[in-house]
Every structure is written in structure tokens, then in C-alpha cells.
Structure 1
């Protein structure tokens, strides 16, 4: 078993001495830094950092670390998060009918590639329930129509609360979440089947084919109230040619979708993604 660690993700207005201030907070309390990375966004005049240290021999109890660091962060006008490596996040996966992203996530979870628990799958169709049953994961079929959307989202939020969910992963969940839902539960990752910002919305492969593109892509991003415009976590592309049909684009795209989504979820679970405004820094 690895020794548990703490990770700080911080962004604040850029100024001199920030690295020293944060590192000294850890050093002066007996911490041993094992990973540190930083970035300065000159256009936004922001400093961003991820710093991880061993909790063994650290002088501050866990419940004191946050208030102690807050005293440093407040005069720096810093936005920050504190995470502990032995706190296991709980994920809910949302699906429709396509299973490729769901199966990839579950395989990686079973292979212990993802430090998480997956107690819940929600779908607006019943088709993928046998997959959940095989792994003894709770499956809830919640059909969505324009008439019942508000009522059903209330039920979905209640399920997230009951299962103590920390992160929702939209693994080809072909529904648009309402702004009210996103405001109530903002920790959501979506996979979009194109290289955003190209071809947002529906039917991107057909539109890419019609446009005669030479590459197609997939994008994993955080969900915001604006459709397919949330901060991007991970992207990848593959070349296509004039010989490829729409079906070929879909087949190649599915391979990208599952890889890009799994990478994004893993990066999020490892606390390597720092979102600010509509951008991210990924400390990979």
C-alpha cells in the first residue's frame, strides 16, 4: 500500500513568491513533496499549480489542513481544492443504448486502473441493464420526454444523493441536461463525438463526412449550461480518407471516444485537471 498523499490544486492572480509560499506551507509542517507542477497563463495573468505531498509525518491533522491553508490562500485571492489519495470517489455512469464507452470504463475499473467506486448506472433506455446486473451495479431506467424532463431530473438528483455520487460520467448519454440540473450537480464529464469546437451538437460524423474532413476526433469535457462548450479535458484524432463511409467514420470514432473518455475520467480522478473560466490546465 502506498502512503496516503494530499494534493492541492490552486489558481490565483500571478505574483512573485507564490511557489515559495505554497511549498513552505508544506515544508514547515513536515511534509515531503513528491510531485509539483505549475503553469502561468500570461494572457489571464494567472498562476496555476498542482502540488502533492506525503501525509506520513505531516504535522497537521487532515481536518486542520484546509483551514490552515485557507489563511494563506485568502490574501492571494486563490481558488483551491484539497484532495486525499485514499478518499475514493464514487461515480455514476449515464448511458443511452451504445455500450462501447460504458464497457471500456467498467473494464478499466475492474482492472483497477481507476481509483473509484461505480455504484450506479442511469439510462433513459433499458437496453444496457444486463451489463449492470452482471457486475451487481444498481441500474435505474429513467425515460426522458419533453413533458417529464423536470420531474425525471429531480429523480436523478435524488439517486445521486442516495448513492453519494461525486462524479457523473455521460458515456454516450444522448440527452441534454438542463441548466438547473448542471447548477445543482456541476461535476459532470461528457464525451462528444467530434473534435470540438468543430461539429458541436448532433450527427457530427455525418456532418464531417459531408464536409469532406481528413481527420475526425473525440472530445471529453466538463458539462456546463452551454451545450458542448464546457472546459475541455482530453481530445484525440484519427485520419480518415475519401474512401471512408459514414459507417467507417462512426467505427473509427467509437475507438477514439472510449479512449478519450477513459483518459479524461482518470485524469479527473487523479486530481490533475484544473478548470478555470472555460479552459483547463491538465497536469499530466
Structure 2
């Protein structure tokens, strides 16, 4: 008996005539029904075209390899970068954290409410602080200490844990360690970080102190993909809140935590729902 399943098709390619017609025809010809479609072009003359389509299809997960092989022929003449995802298969997520718990708490809470389309497979920390928090939610916890002299060993341990648990996406929920290049390359555009600043302002460490010293009137947070340049990966989501001259650094941190947790949650949610396309060092976010 056929079971209708939902799928998501993402397309990124040079803009030209006939893209929408070709994609729509392919889906119709292969038994899919378009439920929702969104698209964006950067420039009608020499720009780039982006599309996100939600569709239904009988037994999609079973037929996905066949559908992907067939779509490759449609995609080739347009030089498309594309992916087809069956939403019945939830991505497996690993969360890295250090000592601040607000972002980790938010993600676990949203996951327990069913608001994150994922399976949180594990929590990793360079401290033991969050073992009880993770395990009380039924999430395996891994303690991997990181020091200046043990970074290579820690990286090897991270690789082993992530591979053994078939992790698709890594979330840095205020994980205060530099991610090694090998891990970034392995999980290209699949590592999401929350930076406690409205990037590109106050890159690096202690941004709240930097903001206080500068006398800013707003503070913010930025969720972005991690690349080889510190705090310079493609931005997914940002938000801000106003502050006054009466706020000290502690006040800034307290208000900033509220922004950090919701900005990271939004970015993770959109990523898991395949609403984000990375183009160069920018993102297209279909909401």
C-alpha cells in the first residue's frame, strides 16, 4: 500500500529561463505533488536562482535513490546544485557545550516539545557540568577534555564519537573551543555556532566587554555556519535588543543570553527544515 510522504527539494543554479518549468515537470512526471514552492533570484540578468519546494510523493524514502538519479538528468543542463530530502528521516544532531547552559537548555526543551525536526543523538562537552542535564532528557553525554596539549587527542575523540553515532549536524551551544579544520571540512555547512555579538561587530572573545567599552546602545547575537575563518562563516539568523547607559557588563550578558538562545534555536530549526541555502559567504533563508 502506498504511503504518501513529504519531501523537500533545494535548488541553486545560475539564473536562466525554464528552471521552474523543468523542475515542475519533473516532479509531476515522477508522481510528486507540489505542496509549497518558494524561489529567489539575485539578479534577473546575470544572477543566481534559488528554489525550495515541498512536495508529497508515494513511498518517497524507498524511492529516493531512483528519484535522485532521475533528477540529475534534469539538473545537469542548468548546472544545478541540489538536494532531495525525505522528511520522514530526521537528521541526527550532536550538541557541543562548555559551561553556559542557556542555549543547550533551549535546544533540549524545544526538542522535547517537538519543535526541532531532529534526533538529538548526543551532547559533548569539555567539562562534566551537563551530564545530568543531558542524561535526564535521555540523551547520551560524552566528556572530552580539551587542553592546549591534548587538542589532537580531543579532535580524534570527537571524530570517533560523531562517526560512530552517524551525526549529520553539529550545534555549538556556546562551546568555547576553536573547531579544528578537519572537523569543519568533514561537516561543511553542517556546523552551526552562536556568537554572542551582532557580527561582524566584536568578533572573537569577550564581546560583551567589547560592547560595554564601546558604549553601544544595542547588543545582539548571531547564528552562523562555521568555516575556517573565526566568526566569519555564512550568517543564518541575527537579533538585537536595546540597552542603556545604566547597564554594566553583567546586565549585558544577562539580556544577551535571551537573544542567544532564541537566535540559535531559529537557525537550527530552519537548517533542519532545509530552509537554508548557502551561496558563497551568504545564505538564502526561506521562511
Calculate the TM-score normalised by the size of structure 1: 0.96
Structure 2 stretches of 5 or more lacking a match? none
1:125 equivalent among 102, 124, 127: 127
Query: What is the DSSP-based 3-state SS (H/G/I as helix, E as strand, rest coil) of the residue aligned with 2:239?
Result: strand
Deviating more after overlay: 231-240 vs 60-69 = 60-69
Rounded to whole Å, the distance in 2 between the matches of 1:163 and 1:250 is 34
**Structure 1 residue 35: Cα displacement:** 0.9
Rounded to whole Å, the distance in 2 between the matches of 1:44 and 1:69 is 24
2:153 maps to 1:176: no
1:262 equivalent among 256, 265, 272: 265
User: Is residue 94–residue 124 contact of structure 2 (8 Å, CA) maintained in 1?
Assistant: yes
Rounded to whole Å, the distance in 2 between the matches of 1:217 and 1:23 is 40
**Structure 1 residue 147: Cα displacement:** 1.6
Q: Report how many residues are paired.
A: 282
The 3 A distance-change label for structure 1 pair 38 and 134 is: same
Rounded to whole Å, the distance in 2 between the matches of 1:89 and 1:212 is 42
**Aligned CA-pair RMSD:** 1.6
The 3 A distance-change label for structure 1 pair 220 and 22 is: same
1:212 maps to what in 2? 215
1:226 maps to what in 2? 229
2:158 maps to what in 1? 156
Calculate the TM-score normalised by the size of structure 2: 0.95
User: Is residue 4–residue 59 contact of structure 2 (8 Å, CA) maintained in 1?
Assistant: no
Rounded to whole Å, the distance in 1 between the matches of 2:172 and 2:197 is 15
User: Is residue 5–residue 59 contact of structure 2 (8 Å, CA) maintained in 1?
Assistant: no
2:15 maps to 1:14: yes
User: Is residue 31–residue 57 contact of structure 1 (8 Å, CA) maintained in 2?
Assistant: no
Rounded to whole Å, the distance in 2 between the matches of 1:11 and 1:98 is 37
Q: Please list, as runs of the form range in 1=range in 2, the aligned pairs for 1:44-83 lying within 5 A after superposition.
A: 45-56=47-58, 61-83=63-85
Rounded to whole Å, the distance in 2 between the matches of 1:280 and 1:82 is 18
Rounded to whole Å, the distance in 2 between the matches of 1:44 and 1:181 is 35
What are the Cα deviations for residues 185-221 of structure 1, in whole angstroms up to 9, with x where unaligned?
2210000000111111101011011111111100001
